[in-house]
Copies of this chain bind each other. A is one copy, B any other.
Amino acid sequence: MPVTIEDISKQLGVSISTVSRALNGKADVSEATKERVQQVAQKMGYQPSAAARNLRRQRTEKIGFVFNDAISHFSDYFAEIIAGATTEAEENGHNIVLYTNKGDSADGLLNLCKTREVDGLILVWNHVPSAIIDPLIAEGLPFVILGRRVNHPQASYITPDNYNGAMALMQHLLSLGHTRIGFITRPLMKLTYVDRFAAYTDALENAGIPFDSSLVVETEGGKECNSLATKQLLDLPVPPTAAIAFHDLIAVDVLTVILERGLRVPQDIALAGFDGLNASLLVKPSITTVKQPLREIGEQSVQALLRCIENSKQPPIQKTLPVQLEIRESTSG
Residues of chain A touching chain B, judged by Cβ–Cβ distance below 8 Å, are 1-3, 45-52, 54-55, 58, 60, 62, 70-72, 74-76, 78-80, 82-83, 86-87, 90, 95-101, 110-111, 114-117, 140, 252, 278-279, 282-284, 295
Contact = CB atoms under 8 A, between A and B. Distances in A.
A100 B87 contact: yes
A223 to B, nearest CB: 12
Contacts of A46: 114
A71 B82 CA distance: 8
Contact of A49 (B55, B101, B110, B282): B55
Contacts of A278: 75, 279
Contacts of A60: 50-51
A140 B3 CA distance: 13
Contacts of A82: 71, 82, 98
Contacts of A99: 86, 90, 95
A62 B99 CA distance: 11
A85 to B, nearest CB: 9
A52 B53 CA distance: 10
Contacts of A279: 278-279, 282
Contact of A115 (B47, B83, B140, B252): B47
A83 B97 contact: no
A83 to B, nearest CB: 4
A6 to B, nearest CB: 15
Contacts of A47: 111, 114-115
B75 A79 contact: yes
A86 B100 contact: yes
15 contacts: A1-B140, A47-B115, A49-B55, A49-B116, A50-B115, A51-B60, A51-B117, A62-B97, A71-B79, A72-B79, A86-B98, A95-B97, A97-B97, A97-B98, A279-B279
A71 B95 CA distance: 15
A283 B50 CA distance: 47
B55 A52 contact: yes
Nearest to A65: B98
